[in-house]
Structure 1
Amino acid sequence: MSKEQKKDQRFLSVIEKIGNKLPDPAFLFVLLALITIAASALAAQFDLSVTYEGFNAETGEIESITTAVNNLLSIDGIHYMVTNVISNFTSFFPLGPVFTIVLGVSVMEGTGMLSVLLRRIVSKTPKAFISAMVVFLGIMSNIASSTGYIVLVPLGAIIFFASKRHPIAGLAAAYAGVSGGWTANLLLGTNDPLYAGISTQAANILDPNYIVHPTGNWFFMVASTFLVTIIGTYITDKIVEPRLPKYHFSDDDQVDAITQHEKRGLKFAGIAEAIFLIVMGILVLPENALLRNPETGEILTSPFMTGIIFFMMVFFLVPGIAYGIVSRQIKKSKDVTDLMTEGIAGIANFLVLIFFAAQFTAFFAHSNLGTILSVNGAQLLTTIGLTGLPLLLLFILLTMVINIIMPVDTAKWVMMAPIFIPMFLQVGLSPEVTQLAFRIGDSTTNIITPLMPFFVMIVAYFEKYDEDAGIGSVVSTMLPYSGAFLVGWLILLTVWYALGLPIGPGAPITL
């Protein structure tokens, strides 16, 4: 290990120690909520507010919006907090998707099918490519929006475990792929038309005829897929896994060869899955299929994509039940619900965490502190006077900072697009490249911000494999990915800009 590597390891260890000295994650969110309440009261004393051009959700028009801080210690603020505790929890985005997916995965895992399937994958995959495979699958999972956080991250740990490698390294590789993959994919996902719609509305402030297509960042995203896979693999193998303490595998952790009985179970599970996929194909692929958008016929904006979490649950449930019946793990219907109950019991720690995380997130959003800080940062950027590539790079850095305190990407882009797209248009930068710069900054710090909705789930998974792990462990483990992705993307964007390459079909960098 070189001197530089030793310095990096010491730096990450310091971050981990400091982070893990913080209170238990649940109580940390309580503390953050109290700080938010106090900050909102202080800001209200100074009548803090911001005015910016934004979308009116009721009218659908772009207009001047003034946002003032909401004092959470006022009578209205106190009433809001005490009357919304339950709805804050039940409406917290990760709760429903995680709960639903676990119902299906728990059956597949409880019957033993998941273990057998992953052992087979590991046996067929050269060990040198395990990390790359996990990172790549994490990236591709973003086709279905946030499903990768729920499905791929825990599977990354299991795949590494089956390979006799540290499961936390697998968690990190999958998490890096999913978060970094927000600006990378070989295919278009559910977020692309959403971003494009917001960007089009923002561009129409200056040019009523400008249209940003969902494919506007596609060329750059394809290149980023390989970039993130290569960087993520290197960081996992050379930096993250070497600094993890040795994981002690017990005798019960031995990975046995797959038996003929298990192969038979996988065969029937495969047949059941194939039937399910054929049925789904009939419901989705034909031009007038039942699950397509009834008005436009599109798939990306269809009931299928809206209900993707449910279909993912069934995707795991169907082969799990088939395998369980063949292996005699499932003999009656109650066995299925028992397996589901065991799966939900396994995420009890996560449910406790998100109760408190949901309160903090809701309080912070209601206070409007995030909007005020973000708009002030944007206005600061407009006064600097840069153009071209330096302006894009600075915008990426600003987005990274804003993402730490306001990690919900669509809400952030709804606020930022009407500010930056017209501003950048006036200096010759296309709406597509402005959107791309935003996505790069957003993806880079998704990995390390504790305010990201799925962060509490990642902490819970870390604790599953290391009871002493905490927020500091997660941040210190993921920080090398964040820094490396940033450097990689800045270099890639600089080269792309210098060569004047289109970032998508019909989407130039400059106009």
Structure 2
Amino acid sequence: MSTLPHRERLKRGAFHRFLDSVEWLGNLLPHPVTLFALLCVIVVVASGIAGALGVSVADPRPANEGELIAVNSLLNAEGLRRLITEMVANFTGFAPLGTVLVAMLGVGVAEHSGLLSASMRALVLDRSPRIVTYAVVFAGIMSNMAAELGYVVLIPLAAMIFHSLGRHPLAGLAAAFCGVSGGYSANLLIGTVDPLLSGITQEAARLLDPSYSVGAEANWFFMIVSTFVVTLIGGLVTERIVEPKLGKFDAAYATDDIDGQRMASLTATEKRALKGAGLATLAIVALLAVMVVPANGILRHPETGAISGSPFLSGIVVIVAVSFSVLGFVYGRLAGTMRGDRDVVDAMARSMSSLGLYIVLVFFAAQFVALFNWSNFGTVIAVAGADMLQTLGLSGPLLFALFILMCAFVNLSLGSASAQWAVTAPIFVPMLMLMGYAPEVIQAAYRIGDSVTNLITPMMSYFGLIMAVAARYRKDLGIGTLVALMLPYTLFMLIGWSLLFFAWVFLFGLPVGPGSATHYVL
């Protein structure tokens, strides 16, 4: 026997021990709900100290030139009044909450009618486990075209798929989470984030060149290739690191509501019901096509006639919820699992009852996010990090490497892609343009750092939902367990995606998008 496999086992063993240490340290923290409550207290106290010390940074945005961004103290009467009067609004206005609740009404009907289970078995039965792994990661990346529904639908479904195949469900959850959140910026198509970021990049570029234009397609070529690179990395990490570390799934640690997620061949009744649901799917797609495809479709933008910014995209959550409800009922009627409206309502109610932990967690997480935003800590950290990087006076690949790392670090506390780019783009885009790099290239580098640490930060909006889903399969799961589970994805994606960027830009000098320059000349 050669010594190479032995060395590889030793390396994997050492890395697994490192992840065990991360998990152990992370799980020393209190329950996530308690942790968010404590973080609220810490933010209030820290903001009071920082406010008293006058901690501030210069605002980099052109419209606010000469102004300072200071840490706002919440440790005063005004902060207390604001928290008390806006606590309910913080909770009800927390963006992911409405998305999750509305989507789960429809998903609940599809799940409890048996549609999801039957569809899942039809898709994965007799398929290669490796194909399933990579398909889950790829589907997660592509799901970003449908807003945040990947978090609500795909991640729980991926856990069910892995469990039904006799694999550890948390490995399926991790693979889907990797694609949905870690691969957030990658896609084969131009998504909603592209015009958002390109608009900010263009304004920053015009500080130096008033006529410069950055289109939504600026990073399209790079993101197409990134989709396959992230899929490859996510699949390899799942099979080589995450699944071996998780070991064999022990149902004793799970809740009682997963017993039905076992692989079994489809019965004749289930096949007939799936065909009926398939016909209903075609009918729904045809109806949507009538309302979206024509230039005057009623679900297009009422003023521009475009799909971008249209009621179709902004209402995708409602469309999916209604579609799942209809398909679930059609399947249930044909399969004999649903007879009338009472069964539909019961399915919705059971779906809502399963979100108890998530709703409690969201209440405290929403307060923490609101307090953190009010304090201005995230913006101050972003600008201070950018200023520090600028003063180092580096150039070329090393500067971009530190830039990506800084974006990844700031993303741990400032989770919004647009918010972070809005305060850092006015610094880095003109600076790197002066060093000879095009704004499109700078934006591509930013998107790497902004994506990879989504997997390990509680500041990510849907982190609470992932915790709640994971807790179905491991009742004692803590933040440390989830962070240790996702940390390998973050590390290897940071390295692999960055290497792709360096090869693309510095080795081959390829355009990151159609018509996008690699270098900028004054």
Normalising TM by the smaller chain, what interval?
A: over 0.9
Does the 8 Å CA contact 2:195/2:215 hold for their aligned counterparts?
yes
Write out aligned runs for 1:418-457 (5 A).
418-457=426-465
Q: 2:202 aligns with which of 200, 203, 209?
A: 200
Does the 8 Å CA contact 2:117/2:261 hold for their aligned counterparts?
no
Whether 1:342 aligns to 2:350 is yes
Q: Which residue of 2 aligns with 1:399?
A: 407
Report the CA distance between 1:63 and its aligned residue: 4.5
Q: Which residue of 2 aligns with 1:58?
A: none
Q: Which residue of 2 aligns with 1:257?
A: 265
SS in 2 for 1:71: coil
Write out aligned runs for 1:266-345 (5 A).
266-345=274-353
- 1:396 to 1:430, Cα distance in 2 relative to 1, 3 A: same
Q: Which residue of 1 aligns with 2:122?
A: 120
Give the Cα separation in 1 of the matches to 2:286 and 2:449: 39
SS in 2 for 1:2: helix
Does the 8 Å CA contact 1:173/1:232 hold for their aligned counterparts?
yes
Give the Cα separation in 1 of the matches to 2:263 and 2:150: 25
Q: 1:31 aligns with which of 25, 38, 52?
A: 38
Whether 1:374 aligns to 2:344 is no
Report the CA distance between 1:252 and its aligned residue: 6.0
**Counterpart of 1:33 in structure 2: which amino acid?**
C
Q: Which residue of 2 aligns with 1:53?
A: 60
Post-superposition Cα deviations, 1:429-455, rounded to whole Å, max 9, x if no partner, equal: 111111111110011111111211111
- 1:212 to 1:65, Cα distance in 2 relative to 1, 3 A: farther
Report the CA distance between 1:66 and its aligned residue: 2.3
Post-superposition Cα deviations, 1:5-57, rounded to whole Å, max 9, x if no partner, equal: 110010000111111111000000011111101100000111112222327xx
Give the Cα separation in 2 of the matches to 1:245 and 1:235: 14
5+ unaligned residues in a row in structure 2: which ranges? 1-7, 253-258
Report the CA distance between 1:235 and its aligned residue: 0.5
Which 10-residue stretch deviates more, 461-470 or 287-296? 287-296
Q: Which residue of 1 aligns with 2:28?
A: 21
Q: Which residue of 2 aligns with 1:501?
A: 510
Q: Which residue of 2 aligns with 1:165?
A: 167
SS in 2 for 1:447: helix
Which 10-residue stretch deviates more, 285-294 or 391-400? 285-294
Q: Which residue of 2 aligns with 1:144?
A: 146
Write out aligned runs for 1:183-198 (5 A).
183-198=185-200
Give the Cα separation in 2 of the matches to 1:428 and 1:293: 39
- 1:367 to 1:400, Cα distance in 2 relative to 1, 3 A: same
Whether 1:177 aligns to 2:216 is no
**Counterpart of 1:284 in structure 2: which amino acid?**
V
Whether 1:481 aligns to 2:489 is yes
Does the 8 Å CA contact 2:201/2:439 hold for their aligned counterparts?
yes
Does the 8 Å CA contact 1:462/1:470 hold for their aligned counterparts?
no
Give the Cα separation in 2 of the matches to 1:300 and 1:162: 38
Give the Cα separation in 2 of the matches to 1:209 and 1:252: 60
**Counterpart of 1:295 in structure 2: which amino acid?**
E
Report the CA distance between 1:184 and its aligned residue: 1.2
Give the Cα separation in 2 of the matches to 1:325 and 1:252: 19
Report the CA distance between 1:337 and its aligned residue: 1.4
Post-superposition Cα deviations, 1:366-413, rounded to whole Å, max 9, x if no partner, equal: 001111121111111111112232222211011011011111112111
Report the CA distance between 1:253 and its aligned residue: 5.4
Q: Which residue of 1 aligns with 2:391?
A: 383
Post-superposition Cα deviations, 1:336-363, rounded to whole Å, max 9, x if no partner, equal: 1111010010111100111001111100
Q: Which residue of 2 aligns with 1:108?
A: 110
Which 10-residue stretch deviates more, 387-396 or 246-255? 246-255
Post-superposition Cα deviations, 1:278-319, rounded to whole Å, max 9, x if no partner, equal: 111111111221111223222122121111111121232221
Q: Which residue of 2 aligns with 1:359?
A: 367
Post-superposition Cα deviations, 1:177-227, rounded to whole Å, max 9, x if no partner, equal: 111221211111111111111212222222222111111111111111111
**Counterpart of 2:470 in structure 1: which amino acid?**
F
**Counterpart of 1:50 in structure 2: which amino acid?**
V
- 1:62 to 1:101, Cα distance in 2 relative to 1, 3 A: same
SS in 2 for 1:94: helix
Report the CA distance between 1:65 and its aligned residue: 4.2
Report the CA distance between 1:143 and its aligned residue: 1.2
Give the Cα separation in 1 of the matches to 2:278 and 2:213: 43
Post-superposition Cα deviations, 1:116-159, rounded to whole Å, max 9, x if no partner, equal: 10001111532221110100000100112322111111111011
- 1:63 to 1:334, Cα distance in 2 relative to 1, 3 A: farther
Which 10-residue stretch deviates more, 206-215 or 172-181? 206-215
Which 10-residue stretch deviates more, 1-10 or 97-106? 1-10
Post-superposition Cα deviations, 1:98-120, rounded to whole Å, max 9, x if no partner, equal: 10110111000010111010001
Does the 8 Å CA contact 1:122/1:162 hold for their aligned counterparts?
no
- 1:124 to 1:215, Cα distance in 2 relative to 1, 3 A: farther
Q: 2:96 aligns with which of 94, 97, 100?
A: 94
Matched residue count: 506
- Give the alignment's TM-score, normalised by structure 1: 0.96
Give the Cα separation in 1 of the matches to 2:216 and 2:189: 11
SS in 1 for 2:472: helix
**Counterpart of 1:43 in structure 2: which amino acid?**
A
**Counterpart of 2:35 in structure 1: which amino acid?**
L
Give the Cα separation in 2 of the matches to 1:281 and 1:246: 45
Does the 8 Å CA contact 2:60/2:424 hold for their aligned counterparts?
no
Which 10-residue stretch deviates more, 116-125 or 10-19? 116-125
Give the Cα separation in 1 of the matches to 2:166 and 2:361: 30
- Give the alignment's TM-score, normalised by structure 2: 0.94
Q: 2:473 aligns with which of 461, 465, 468?
A: 465
Give the Cα separation in 2 of the matches to 1:253 and 1:69: 49
Report the CA distance between 1:328 and its aligned residue: 2.8
Coordinate RMSD, CA, aligned = 1.5
Which 10-residue stretch deviates more, 280-289 or 339-348? 280-289
